[in-house]
Structure 1
Amino acid sequence: MPAPFGVRRFLPLPTLSYDPARPHIGVPRERDFGAHVDQTNYSVVVAEKVVVKWLTPPVPLPHPTPEILSHLVEAGFNDTAPPYAALTGPVDGRECLLALATGYLPEARDGWEWCVDEAEAGETAFAADLGRLAADLHLALSTLPRTAPATAPSPELPSPEPPSPEPAELPPPAAVRAAGALAEALELTGGEDGRWLAGRADRLRHELEPLDAPIASPLIRIHGDLHVGQILRWRDGYAVIDFDGNPTVTDADPWQPAARDVAQLTMSLEHVAQVAIKRRGTPPERAAAWAEAARAGLLAAYRARLAARGRPDLLDEGLIRPFEIEQECRELIYAARHLPRWRYAPMGVLRTWYTEENPS
């Protein structure tokens, strides 16, 4: 790679030659995914074998994705698009991540397509596969060592007094973060939905109370944006993608309880049910029953996988519900700030959950 660019390699690239007998001859065909594909960055498919995702704009290093992809390869986690390489280079005087090269997965569709099909059909067998995939991902990420910057004092200065021990908790504290999300959702959600939400504010605060206690479960490097849209169903199975973290949460610590990922994944099943109601005409009662069965199947498979691998401690089930409530608040914030038409999904879920208080 010519200067000033650099490449970090994870797995060997497949051959891109047209003729196996004449390697390195010919220019592989390239295409993009088309204007119908909603993507923050710009991706190109090369020879139907490799996807090159150009980050637009480039992101200054350190960036979480290369570290995670490297670790997943070392841990033997294969349920993702095969990671090949990361391209880096200077932009405006800072070293940046420019592009990622991963394997192309034939016939891949994201969960906002295939999972809505399952909801419309009332099928839930897929949920066990998702539960096992999420558990395997967390088992792999739980072995990623957490590094901290050196804090040795300067030799010219006396050593500072050791800090007083503090209880382990999320920075910022989980309860503060969740309460802030609820307050912002209440502020930003207007109209009839806002009045309905305000009338259930005390109930929602009560649901968040488990976060007032110190987090006891292990803090691991989570995916951070784990929803069905990040899970591709392709010709040979399922693959989880996009380890960039949640772009809508600026203060999120990547080291959190596995329950946060689990909660976002279960909530995305609830959102799929709402999409099926709105876009496919699925009866609300049938969609709600599907979501309940799908999430139960996912959680059962997730628990079983952790238990089989000797790590049931990774999941604190008492954190799932409060994290789910916080997630719905963040969905409402996202809708208010970026995509107003999305508000129907989180509001539909909340109205389904609190039917005994819903005057309609």
Structure 2
Amino acid sequence: MHLSKAQCQQLLPLSRADLINACSDVSVDFPISDSAGILVFESGNKNFVAPYVKNREIRRAQSKDAVTAQLLSNPLPDGLRTTMQSGSYSQERFISVDQSNESVILDESIIVKWQLTAQKSIGAHKEEILTENGFAHLPELLGNIYWDEKLLASVNKYIPGTTDGWTWCVDKAKASDLGPWLVNLAHLTAEMHRCLEGLIHGDFHVGQILKTSQSDQLWVIDFDGDPLATAEEAIDPLRDVASMCASFFHVGAVTIKHGADPSVIKEWIVQAESIYAATYFEGNAFDVKALRALMRSLENRELKYADKFLPQWRYAPEFAISYMEELGYGSN
């Protein structure tokens, strides 16, 4: 099947369409009906993954199309494999926050995360290791969907009533809450690093932490990491700690944008960072300057990410960089 550049762009999430620079002459089609299926197409030496519908035109599937529900309600097409059993699903709901990958909730019971590109997945490997080691803060892994050895999608149990940290942690900041959740988050981080056996999360921030309003139980998601990280960065636990601490600055930026007192929020950020880091290191001495220098460095990447994929987010790393410089983070 030949795909024009415009067709390829229509098969990606809108915020990722600019990754396509040319047409595609190579594709693998896994049809699940006469008008829907899963397409893997090559562009720029990457195999992009696209749940699709096709009438007069081909486009990426939307929640109303229920393509993911159809896929998991029947035996998988030849060429795909999974360890999970098919069920019976009808309702789809997409998670609207910006993600490199696209998450779909089926019947409020399972969550399916479609990969942007088909490749061997370190994220799937990490979740399998965590599951084997009894890590209690991972939504139950139900299975992965593979094409050859390349991951197309992962399927986890959906935990109703959860929000990610861009909601619940913003509420904590608004209330100047420095309570037990910070200690719980630090303990989760340390336990995650122990269970990962030398690996790290790699893209660790409050948006990857789920919480319900009814309890202090926390869950961590999205282990794909940063594709731009070096081999050394990909195994350095301090990177996860720095990334989480930096995200408190982003929470502060969101809160101030919503009308909170900047001076109060700035104090909350510094205290939240201090409690979290001290708890993670179990009260032992650690290199605070190295941690803060890494936080400052990560903000440069965050700003570049916002410029490329999410310009409306630019205000958050801009605030973080400004406040970190005011605090002297990263300076000699």
**SS state at 1:295 partner:** helix
1:59 paired to 2:134: no
Q: What is the total number of aligned residue pairs between the two structures?
A: 250
Structure having the higher Rg: 1
C-alpha offsets along residues 53-111 of structure 1, whole Å, 9 cap, x if unaligned? 2224x412x21122111110111102011111011125xxxx42111110101111111
Aligned residue in 2 for 1:290: 268
1:114 and 2:168 correspond: yes
- Structure 1 residue 28: deviation in Å? 3.3
Q: What is the RMSD of the two structures over their aligned residues, measured on CA atoms?
A: 2.6
Q: Deviations over 1:93-146 (max 9, x none)?
A: xx42111110101111111111111111111112112111111111111x2xxx
Q: How big is the shift at 1:8?
A: 4.2
Which residues of 2 match residues 39-58 of structure 1 at below 5 A?
39-56=99-116, 58=117
- Bigger relative CO (Cα 8 Å, ≥ 6 apart): 1
The one-letter code of the counterpart of 1:46 is L
Query: SS of the residue aligned with 1:244?
Result: coil
What SS class does the counterpart of residue 54 from structure 1 fall into?
strand
2:140 corresponding residue in structure 1: 82
TM-score (norm 2): 0.68
Q: Any conservation in 1 of the 2:248–2:272 contact (CA below 8 Å)? A: yes
Letter of the structure 2 residue corresponding to residue 69 of structure 1: E
TM-superposed CA distance for 1:327, in Å, is: 0.6
Q: How does 1:76-225 map to 2 (within 5 A)?
A: 76-90=134-148, 95-125=149-179, 126-141=181-196, 143=197, 220-225=198-203
What per-residue deviation string (whole Å, max 9, x for no partner) do you get for residues 126-170 of structure 1?
A: 2112111111111111x2xxxxxxxxxxxxxxxxxxxxxxxxxxx
Letter in 2 for 1:49: S
| Residue in structure 1 matched with residue 35 of structure 2 by the alignment | none
Residues 206-264 of structure 1 show CA distances to partners (whole Å, capped at 9, x for unaligned) of xxxxxxxxxxxxxx3111100101111135521110011125x2645564221011000
Equivalent-residue separation in structure 2 for 1:296 and 1:224 (angstroms): 21
Give 1:243-262 correspondences, 5 Å limit: 243-247=223-227, 249=228, 251=230, 253=232, 255-262=234-241
Note if 1:324 corresponds to 2:295. Answer: yes
Residue 123 of structure 1 aligns to a residue in which SS? coil
State the match for 1:242 in structure 2: 222
SS at match of 1:221: coil
- 2:328 matched to 1:268? no
What corresponds to 1:193 in structure 2? none
Q: Following TM superposition, by how much is the alpha carbon of 1:325 offset from its aligned partner in structure 2, in angstroms?
A: 1.5
Gap regions ≥5 residues in structure 1: 17-26, 144-219
Residue identity opposite 2:295 in structure 1: E
Question: Which is worse superposed, 119-128 or 101-110?
Answer: 119-128
Q: Given the superposition, is the C-alpha separation of residues 340 and 290 from structure 1 closer, same or farther in structure 2, using an over 3 Å criterion? A: same
Write out the 4+ residue segments of structure 1 that deviate beyond 6 Å after TM superposition: none
| Residue in structure 1 matched with residue 318 of structure 2 by the alignment | 347
Q: CA deviation at 1:322?
A: 2.0
Residues in 2 aligned to 1:4 and 1:351: alpha-carbon distance in whole angstroms: 51
Q: Flag the 1:318–1:132 CA change in 2: closer, same or farther, 3 A.
A: same
Q: Residues 344 and 86 of structure 1: is their aligned pair in 2 closer, same or farther, counting only changes over 3 Å? A: same
Q: For the residues of structure 2 that align with 1:286 and 1:277, how far apart are their CA atoms? A: 10
Aligned residue identity for 1:256: I
**1:334 equivalent in alignment to 2:296:** no
Kindly provide the amino acid, as one letter, of the partner of residue 195 in structure 2: A
1:5 aligns with 2:80: yes
Q: Which amino acid aligns with 2:126?
A: I
* 1:27-46 correspondence runs (5 A): 27-33=88-94, 36-46=96-106
Structure whose residues are more often strand by fraction? 2
* Matches of 2:172 and 2:162, distance apart in 1: 15
Unaligned runs of 5+ in 2: 1-74
